[in-house]
Structure 1
Amino acid sequence: MKETILITGCSSGIGRLCAEKLHEAGYTVVASCRKPEDVATLQQQGLNCIQLDLDDTDSIHQGIEACQAITGGRIDVLFNNAAYGQPGALEDLPTQALRQQFETNLFGWHELTQAVIPIMLKQGSGKIVQNSSVLGLVAMKYRGAYNASKFALEGYTDTLRLELRDTPLHVSLIEPGPIESHFRENAKLKFEQHIDMAGSRHHPNYQKTLDRLGKTSPSNKFTLAPDAVLKPLLSIIRSEQPSPRYYVTQPTHIFGFLRRVLPVRWLDQLLNKSN
């Protein structure tokens, strides 16, 4: 019997593509979305889809119950994927915006993971897959909130892996660079919501940020389609001993290497060229 897989953040991009392809491959997939209209869209496609809002404790636990009702109680794989980016210089970032970033990108993941672990321990197996980012390995300007949430996720996941080492559960990180999605579109909305561009000393660079976020075409030549993440996810699902980390896209491989070998100031000079 093929595994049951719960995936968060399936309204678009990586989550949706992985849910669709794994469903086609015969896995029992339970996709989740925050908005009811997105849930309805995926259900109309024939997918199992539930509402799950990572900012809402009740929604998280109701989502787990709904998932178990579909799968007969099993959750073999949890793919934590739902996240967004909050652009802006840290000095311009309202504390509440940073809290919201962590609520969705870390605290909600923790609450969901914490609730799934006992289910996996009881059934005697399970895999927890965290979709991180190259920005969990290196930091870039005007992405401080997102950088911080992904750096925190990396530490969280490394700790979780150590603490579950004496159990039949496995924990893996997928670390993509640029992937085609609605990420930039959503980030632009968050920038406009929380950042006072006119009153900032970063105004000239912010215009470049808005230009980048407003593009409909890939932001750089290294951008890959969402199925680039499906490949390592399938490797994790099929492996008896999945690796702790899976790099996706050339920038992740490059910066992962440079972080290990370059002095901090040299790496800073390279990263400073980014907007």
Structure 2
Amino acid sequence: MAKTILITGCSSGIGYDAAHGLKAAGWMVLATCRREEDCARLRAEGLISFPLDVADPASIEAGFNEALARADGQLDALYNNAAFATPGAVEDLPVGALRENFETNLFGLHDLTLRAIKVMRAQGDGRIVQCSSVLGIVGIRWRGAYVATKFALEGLTDVLRLEMRDTPVKIITLNPGPIPTRFRLNAIPHFEKWVDWKNSARRAQYETSLLKRLYEPSGKPDAFELPPSAVTRALRAALESANPKPAYYITGATHIAAALRRLLPLRLRDWLLARA
């Protein structure tokens, strides 16, 4: 029987590539999306797909139960990929914006992780892969909400990995850097919902920096940019290696960020990151 993996956030980008890439590699992929119309599109492409909204506890329960039913109770891997960002200066982020980010990027992910661990303990094997980010290693301006969720995910996953060492369940983190996806476009509605930039003390900075990045991208690849398939390759290594790494750094930007955090004094690191 093919090994089974449940993936969240498969409508586009990293999750979409992972779903198709793992299916091609022989995995039984349970590719979930927040919206049914996206699931229908994936089903038309030959994937097993059904709704699972990680910001909705009822949808998490229903989606996880559907996954187990489709796979006859077997779950070899969980890939927690779904996430989004609300860009803006930290001083302009209402508490509600942070809560919304944490519901998807951490709390829903944790709910699924707990459910998966119970199944994997019972079957005697399993892997849980958390999709973090280069921004789980260092922070940059305008990304405070997203950075906060990824730093929290890194800490929670580090502790979980330590605690699960005496079990057959392996805990692994992926840290992608710049990957061309719909992530920027998907962030715009959240920015418009929560950030009152016109009345911000930083209005001029928004106009010369963040607004241009959001609404007027240059179209040129970011430095160190790699395609989503680079993340899928790392995911396959995490899932199929006999002794997987605790974390996989993807793109040169992530390796540089890790070196900055490990080697530089904080004041110098701040000076460099303020220019990013």
Tell me the equivalent position of 2:177.
177
The one-letter amino acid of 1:182's match is R
The 10-residue stretch of structure 1 (132-141 or 234-243) with the greater mean CA deviation from structure 2: 234-243
Aligned residues of 1:178 and 1:249 also touching (Cα < 8 A): yes
Spell out the pairing of 1:110-149 with structure 2 (5 A cutoff). 110-149=110-149
Residue 2 of structure 1 and its aligned partner are, at CA, apart by 3.3
Question: SS state of the match for residue 79, structure 2?
Answer: strand
Q: Please give the alpha-carbon distance, in whole angstroms, between the structure 2 residues aligned to 1:89 and 1:167.
A: 42
Tell me the equivalent position of 1:247.
249
TM value normalised by structure 2: 0.97
Q: Please give the alpha-carbon distance, in whole angstroms, between the structure 1 residues aligned to 2:200 and 2:42.
A: 41
Question: SS state of the match for residue 16, structure 1?
Answer: helix
Residue 72 of structure 1 and its aligned partner are, at CA, apart by 1.1
Residue 124 of structure 1 and its aligned partner are, at CA, apart by 0.5
1:51 aligns with 2:48: no
Tell me the equivalent position of 2:37.
37
Q: Please give the alpha-carbon distance, in whole angstroms, between the structure 1 residues aligned to 2:188 and 2:267.
A: 30
Encode CA deviations 1:50-82: one digit per residue, 9 max, x unaligned: 100011111101111111111111110100000
The one-letter amino acid of 1:169's match is V
Residue 217 of structure 1 and its aligned partner are, at CA, apart by 2.6
Q: Please give the alpha-carbon distance, in whole angstroms, between the structure 1 residues aligned to 2:67 and 2:220.
A: 34
Q: Please give the alpha-carbon distance, in whole angstroms, between the structure 1 residues aligned to 2:214 and 2:258.
A: 24
Unaligned stretches of 5+ residues in structure 1: none
1:204 aligns with 2:204: yes
Q: Please give the alpha-carbon distance, in whole angstroms, between the structure 1 residues aligned to 2:254 and 2:177.
A: 6
The one-letter amino acid of 2:60's match is I
Unaligned stretches of 5+ residues in structure 2: none
Equivalent of residue 220 in structure 1, options 208, 219, 222: 222
Residue 218 of structure 1 and its aligned partner are, at CA, apart by 4.8
Question: SS state of the match for residue 198, structure 1?
Answer: helix
Question: SS state of the match for residue 178, structure 1?
Answer: coil
Question: SS state of the match for residue 171, structure 1?
Answer: strand
Q: Please give the alpha-carbon distance, in whole angstroms, between the structure 2 residues aligned to 1:216 and 1:29.
A: 35
Encode CA deviations 1:142-192: one digit per residue, 9 max, x unaligned: 110001000000000001101111000000100011111000001122111
Q: Please give the alpha-carbon distance, in whole angstroms, between the structure 2 residues aligned to 1:115 and 1:254.
A: 35
Number of aligned residue pairs: give it: 274
Tell me the equivalent position of 1:94.
94
Encode CA deviations 1:27-64: one digit per residue, 9 max, x unaligned: 10000000110011001111001100011111101111
Q: Please give the alpha-carbon distance, in whole angstroms, between the structure 2 residues aligned to 1:6 and 1:17.
A: 14
Q: Please give the alpha-carbon distance, in whole angstroms, between the structure 2 residues aligned to 1:213 and 1:24.
A: 34
Tell me the equivalent position of 1:188.
188
Q: Please give the alpha-carbon distance, in whole angstroms, between the structure 2 residues aligned to 1:236 and 1:220.
A: 26
Encode CA deviations 1:205-241: one digit per residue, 9 max, x unaligned: 2122121123273552322110110111111111122
Q: Please give the alpha-carbon distance, in whole angstroms, between the structure 1 residues aligned to 2:96 and 2:86.
A: 11
Question: SS state of the match for residue 10, structure 2?
Answer: coil
Tell me the equivalent position of 1:9.
9
Residue 22 of structure 1 and its aligned partner are, at CA, apart by 0.9
The one-letter amino acid of 1:237's match is L
Tell me the equivalent position of 1:153.
153
Q: Please give the alpha-carbon distance, in whole angstroms, between the structure 2 residues aligned to 1:108 and 1:138.
A: 23
Aligned residues of 1:82 and 1:105 also touching (Cα < 8 A): yes
Aligned residues of 1:54 and 1:109 also touching (Cα < 8 A): yes
Identical-residue share of aligned pairs (%): 50
Question: SS state of the match for residue 164, structure 1?
Answer: helix
Question: SS state of the match for residue 165, structure 1?
Answer: helix
The one-letter amino acid of 2:266's match is V
The one-letter amino acid of 2:39's match is V
Residue 249 of structure 1 and its aligned partner are, at CA, apart by 0.7
Aligned residues of 1:92 and 1:196 also touching (Cα < 8 A): yes
Tell me the equivalent position of 1:103.
103
Q: Please give the alpha-carbon distance, in whole angstroms, between the structure 1 residues aligned to 2:156 and 2:220.
A: 30
